């Protein structure tokens, strides 16, 4: 069996570099807690060059070198970095096991069809880890412990050829296995300094003299795993977060932060062969409140710009109550669905572009004034519906077209259907009757404000009434008599007499 | 005349000057779905250009717009209606044969917003027909003239048909085609409103001769009342009141 170990050295430091790339190159120290007495758990090479080492307190380090950048360990950033590391491993192999913070094992058996050699596999894995913002060393060996030691050996790791584990492990220092200080002192007294020295000792004698810990150390020195590789599937959870130094109350700086989160999320999704669906944005407010919201992504995509535009438009439409000092962004992963394009239909709008455009339009006119018109299931003549404009249906419709559909209309194709221009809401009319018949109509309100069509004049021809009665269970039940009336201005209007209100209205003009 | 001018120009001797050739891009047309009108227009409204449909109430401009949308959606194109007056009647559009799922209906609050919406839709690409309805309403504040060249440029890039439906001309010289509709008569079938006969006159065309007209018979009101049985109908004009209603058509 061949096992790949992906190891990220100084993992707390790497998590911070991933969350804030501007910290690369800075003399950064990461402490285990806030405050001057907190211990340093990791420090960058620049900080180490100034004499700082892990184990010192932050105050001691600042005494040695006063230009250090101090950051407290961020569990959320480390969790996201660990998940990203697993995503990179999954991009190479389907059998992955987490080996603690900053370490992941995966099964390399069967990957020879994809990669020409094991060094090439190691380079590919390192490249994928780099794509999620981490720098890892990769080791490949027959066992987990050998692969881990190979990853920690030298610069960027190593590949131990099959059946040569022992030759590789024997000269390595015993410190690489991390024995306890007492055990380390005992081994030093015995003159055991390398893995080869320890492995050469009889196993039973080591167990008798050093106890279970010594026996376990000897097994690891021989390159034997305590547990075999136990791959287990990880949940598809894509979340990135950031803590801000101070509350941000303007959109542009906040979007700059969100862009970084989104960039990392999209990179992780791409590694798993997924695309970004809805986005869940959780804002930590300066008043210690939380503001959770969902940004609907009509057209799932991994393109950064439209996704960021959707977040921008959402925040412009619904700004948070106060300044934001923390943000958590989670993506709902979706599978990339292949679409069958139609040879005989024109291409519709690109789904991602259309989703951004719909969001912009909704911000401009309001979401309730945007959509696809629909015929309502009602006997009301003025009833209508608005449905969401379906991107996929619009772009790649599956509705078939009959060959002669070009000239076929529901009314038989003889003449274009007559259209009605609706007046919403219906305008009140004053009707003057002559011998119980409407003879003259005029709008009750001022004509310029009431209707763009006039709707006033002598009745030239009148047809009707058609009684529409129904929906008695509603408070605004319909009980109307409809008429088609041609007025002296030449236009034909649809009038109705509302029997409940005892009032005349005009609700449309035939055009 | 152009050929003669070219020959005359070519006969002149200008050292170092070469007569160039005009690369005319063929105009693609989008049929309106009304055969007589398409014949008048030379195949339909031009893609990538502004077109104006001008007419008063009951002139048939909305029926023409619905026919254009229906024709485009039946071909599978996405369309959009920027409806400033909130006047679109979805049942009418469905009766015209449009696939309503392919129609994006936007109801902006002001003419300026309507133009911005149209530009956004055109910028998204993929929309075959974009209709702007209600911009020329009498109560609406007139738009500044520079908006029309800008809209024409966006339309050219989007390669869509942008149809402006209004009661008066709006775009000055930016429209490639202007159709003016005027009502000839209202048809009454017996005592029922049957439809409108209208004259569609092409008053401007950038691609061919203008000042041509065609008479269109729009609509069969009866066709909209499917399933309705006419039992009796009173002679003469009928008015309101309980007695008139009792004699009405029952559905």
Beta bridge partners of B177: B51, B205
pLDDT > 80? residue B90: yes
Which residues does chain B have within 8 Å of residue A436's beta carbon, measured at their own beta carbons? 239-241
pLDDT of residue A15: 92
| Mean pLDDT of the B117-122 span | 94
Instruction: Give the count of Cβ contacts less than 8 A between chain A and B.
Output: 275
* Antiparallel, parallel or unpaired: β B49-55 and B161-166: parallel
The order of strands in the sheet holding A385-387 is A385-387, A370-374, B103-106, B78-83, B127-133, B161-166, B49-55, B175-189, B192-205, B212-218
For the beta carbon of residue B182, count every other beta carbon within 10 angstroms: 15
CA distance A267 to B46: 44
**What is the three-class DSSP state of A88?**
helix
pLDDT of residue B239: 39
The segment with the largest mean pLDDT, out of A50-59, A404-413, B201-210, B215-224, is A50-59
8-state DSSP, B214: E
pLDDT > 90? residue A444: no
Q: What ipTM was assigned to the predicted interfaces of this complex? A: 0.80
pLDDT > 70? residue A374: yes
- Separation of CA B50 from chain center: 10
The order of strands in the sheet holding A3-7 is A96-98, A103-107, A3-7, A137-141
Asked if the Cβ–Cβ distance from A461 to B57 is below 8 Å, we say no
Q: Does B78 touch chain A (CB under 8 A)?
A: yes
pLDDT of residue A449: 54
The CATH 3.40.1170.60 domain(s) of chain A lie at 3-152
Tokens of residue A440, six digits: 């003259």
Per-residue pLDDT of B32-45, as tens digits, reads 988 888 988 888 99
The segment with the largest mean pLDDT, out of A300-304, B116-120, B236-240, is B116-120
8-state DSSP, A235: P
- Separation of CA A309 from chain center: 13
Assign a CATH topology to domain A239-409: Dna Ligase; domain 1 (3.30.1490)
Among B106, B192, B239, beta carbon nearest to A433: B239
Domains located in chain B, CATH noted: 24-225 (3.40.50.300)
Tokens of residue A276, six digits: 């970004």
CA distance B34 to A409: 10
CA distance A371 to A361: 10
Structural contact between residues A38 and A46, judged by C-beta atoms closer than 8 angstroms? no
Please state whether A479 falls in left (phi above 0), alpha (psi between -120 and 50) or beta.
Answer: beta
Which residues does chain B have within 8 Å of residue A478's beta carbon, measured at their own beta carbons? none
CA distance B234 to A220: 105
pLDDT > 60? residue A40: yes
Selected for mutation to probe chain A from B76, B215, B220, B242 (highest A CB count within 10 Å) is B76
pLDDT of residue A83: 92
C-alpha to C-alpha distances, A304 to A75, A252, A293, A308, A418, nearest whole angstrom: 26, 16, 19, 6, 46
Residue A29: which pLDDT band, with cuts at 50, 70 and 90? Answer: very high
The order of strands in the sheet holding A28-31 is A40-43, A28-31, A69-72
Q: Which of B59, B24, B64 is nearest to B44 (CA)?
A: B64
| Mean pLDDT of the A487-500 span | 91
- Mean pLDDT over each residue of chain A, to the nearest integer: 85
Beta bridge partners of A97: A105
CA distance B48 to B50: 7
pLDDT of residue A261: 93
pLDDT > 60? residue A378: yes
Per-residue pLDDT of A68-100, as tens digits, reads 899 998 898 999 999 999 999 999 888 999 888
Burial A216-255 (b: 16+ CB within 10 A, else e): bbbbbbbbebeeebeeeeeeeebbbbbebeeebeeeeebb
- Mean pLDDT over each residue of chain B, to the nearest integer: 80
Q: Which of A121, A125, A99, A119 is nearest to A110 (CA)?
A: A121
pLDDT > 90? residue B154: yes
pLDDT > 60? residue A393: no
Residue B225: which pLDDT band, with cuts at 50, 70 and 90? Answer: very low
CA distance B132 to B54: 12
Quickly list DSSP for A290-310.
Answer: EEEEEE--SS-B--HHHHHHH
pLDDT > 50? residue A408: no
pLDDT of residue B19: 59
Q: Which CATH number fits domain A3-152: 3.40.50.1220, 3.40.640.10, 1.10.645.10, 3.40.1170.60?
A: 3.40.1170.60
For the beta carbon of residue A415, count every other beta carbon within 10 angstroms: 21
pLDDT of residue B244: 34
Residue B63: which pLDDT band, with cuts at 50, 70 and 90? Answer: very high
pLDDT of residue B93: 93
C-alpha to C-alpha distances, A324 to A253, A261, A317, A448, nearest whole angstrom: 11, 15, 16, 48
Structural contact between residues B62 and B190, judged by C-beta atoms closer than 8 angstroms? no
Chain B closest-CA separation from residue A353 CA (Å): 6
E strands within A202-286?
A: 238-248, 274-285
The CATH 3.30.1490.100 domain(s) of chain A lie at 239-409
Among B106, B191, B240, beta carbon nearest to A370: B106
Tokens of residue B153, six digits: 């440029």
pLDDT of residue B222: 46
Which residues does chain A have within 8 Å of residue B188's beta carbon, measured at their own beta carbons? 461, 463
Asked if the Cβ–Cβ distance from B220 to A410 is below 8 Å, we say no
Torsion of CA B24, B26, B27, B28, to 10 degrees: -160
Structural contact between residues B210 and A433, judged by C-beta atoms closer than 8 angstroms? no
pLDDT of residue B22: 54
Selected for mutation to probe chain B from A419, A423, A462, A484 (highest B CB count within 10 Å) is A419
CA distance B115 to A459: 37
Instruction: Please compute, for residue B55, the number of CA atoms within 13 A of its CA located in the half-sphere on the CB side.
Output: 26
Tokens of residue A368, six digits: 């309730």
Residues 6+ apart with CB under 8 A from A200: none
Over its C-alpha atoms, chain B yields an Rg (Å, rounded) of 22
Q: Which of B102, B48, B49, B28 is nearest to B71 (CA)?
A: B102
The segment with the largest mean pLDDT, out of A464-478, B77-91, B138-152, B214-228, is B77-91
| Mean pLDDT of the A213-233 span | 86
Q: Does B65 touch chain A (CB under 8 A)?
A: yes
Query: According to the 3-state scheme, what is the secondary structure of A372-408?
Result: EEECCCCCCCCCCEEECCCHHHHHCCCCCCCCCHHHC
Structural contact between residues A292 and A329, judged by C-beta atoms closer than 8 angstroms? no
For the beta carbon of residue B146, count every other beta carbon within 10 angstroms: 8
pLDDT of residue B243: 33
Asked if the Cβ–Cβ distance from B104 to A454 is below 8 Å, we say no
8-state DSSP, A356: H
């Amino acid at each position: 069996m061949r096992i790949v170990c992906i190891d990220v050295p100084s993992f707390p430091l790497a998590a911070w570099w991933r969350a804030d790339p501007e910290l690369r190159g800075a003399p950064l120290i990461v402490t285990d807690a806030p405050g001057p007495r907190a211990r340093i758990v990791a420090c960058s090479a620049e900080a180490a060059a100034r004499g700082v080492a892990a184990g010192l307190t932050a105050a001691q380090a600042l005494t040695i070198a006063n230009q250090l950048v101090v950051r407290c360990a961020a569990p959320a950033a480390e969790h996201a970095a660990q998940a990203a590391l697993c995503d990179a491993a999954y991009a190479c192999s389907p059998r992955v096991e987490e080996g603690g913070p900053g370490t992941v094992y995966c099964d390399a058996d069967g990957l020879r069809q994809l990669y020409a050699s094991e060094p090439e596999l190691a380079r590919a894995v390192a490249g994928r880890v780099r794509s999620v913002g981490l720098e890892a060393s990769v080791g490949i060996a027959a066992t987990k412990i050998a692969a881990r030691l190979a990853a920690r050996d030298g610069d960027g790791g190593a590949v131990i050829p099959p059946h040569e584990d022992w030759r590789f492990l024997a000269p390595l220092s015993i410190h690489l296995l991390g024995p306890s200080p007492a055990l380390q002192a005992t081994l030093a007294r015995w003159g055991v300094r390398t893995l080869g020295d320890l492995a050469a000792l009889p196993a039973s004698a080591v167990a008798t003299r050093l106890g279970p810990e010594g026996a376990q150390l000897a097994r690891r020195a021989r390159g034997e795993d305590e547990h075999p590789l136990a791959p287990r599937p990880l949940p598809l959870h894509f979340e990135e977060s950031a803590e801000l130094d101070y509350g941000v109350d303007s959109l542009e700086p906040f979007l700059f932060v969100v862009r970084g989160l989104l960039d990392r999320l999209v990179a992780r999704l791409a590694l798993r062969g997924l695309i970004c669906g809805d986005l869940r944005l959780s804002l930590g407010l300066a008043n210690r409140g939380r503001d959770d919201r969902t940004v609907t992504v009509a057209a799932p995509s991994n393109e950064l710009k439209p996704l960021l535009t959707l977040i921008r438009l959402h925040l412009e439409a619904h700004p948070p109550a106060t300044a934001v000092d923390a943000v958590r962004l989670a993506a709902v992963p979706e599978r990339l669905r292949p679409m069958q394009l139609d040879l005989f239909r024109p291409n519709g709008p690109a789904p991602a572009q259309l989703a951004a455009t719909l969001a912009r339009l909704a911000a401009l006119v309001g979401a309730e004034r945007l959509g696809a018109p629909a015929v309502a299931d009602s006997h009301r003549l003025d009833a209508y519906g608005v449905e969401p404009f379906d991107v996929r249906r619009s772009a790649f419709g599956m509705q078939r077209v009959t060959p002669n559909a070009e000239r076929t209309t529901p009314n038989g194709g003889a003449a274009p259907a007559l259209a009605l221009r609706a007046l919403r809401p219906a305008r009140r009319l004053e009707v003057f009757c002559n011998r119980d018949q409407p003879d003259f109509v005029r709008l009750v309100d001022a004509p310029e404000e009431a209707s763009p069509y006039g709707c006033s004049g002598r009745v030239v021809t009148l047809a009707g009434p058609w009684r529409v009665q129904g929906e008695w269970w509603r408070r605004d039940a319909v009980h109307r008599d409809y008429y088609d009336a041609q007025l002296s201005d030449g236009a034909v209007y649809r009038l109705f007499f509302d029997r409940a209100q005892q009032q005349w209205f005009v609700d449309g003009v035939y055009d | 005349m152009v050929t003669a001018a070219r020959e005359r120009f070519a006969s002149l001797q200008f050292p170092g000057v070469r007569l160039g050739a005009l690369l005319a891009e063929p105009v693609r047309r989008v049929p309106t779905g009304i055969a007589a009108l398409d014949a008048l227009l030379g195949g339909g409204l031009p893609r990538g250009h502004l077109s104006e449909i001008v007419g008063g109430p009951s002139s048939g401009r909305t029926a023409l717009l619905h026919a254009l949308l229906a024709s485009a959606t039946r071909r599978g194109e996405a369309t959009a209606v920027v409806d400033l007056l909130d006047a679109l009647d979805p049942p009418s559009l469905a009766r015209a044969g449009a696939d309503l799922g392919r129609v994006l209906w936007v109801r902006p609050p002001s003419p300026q917003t309507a133009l911005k919406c149209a530009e956004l839709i055109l910028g998204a690409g993929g929309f075959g027909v974009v209709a702007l309805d209600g911009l020329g309403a009498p109560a609406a504040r007139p738009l500044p003239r520079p908006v029309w060249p800008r809209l024409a440029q966006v339309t050219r890039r989007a390669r869509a048909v942008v149809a402006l439906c209004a009661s008066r001309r709006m775009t000055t010289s930016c429209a490639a085609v202007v159709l003016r509709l005027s009502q000839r008569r209202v048809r009454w079938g017996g005592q029922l409103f049957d439809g409108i006969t209208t004259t569609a006159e092409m008053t401007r065309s950038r691609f061919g001769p203008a000042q041509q007209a065609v008479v269109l018979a729009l609509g069969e009101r009866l066709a909209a009342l499917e399933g309705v049985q006419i039992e009796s109908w009173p002679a003469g004009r009928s008015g309101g009141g309980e007695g008139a209603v009792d004699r009405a058509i029952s559905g």
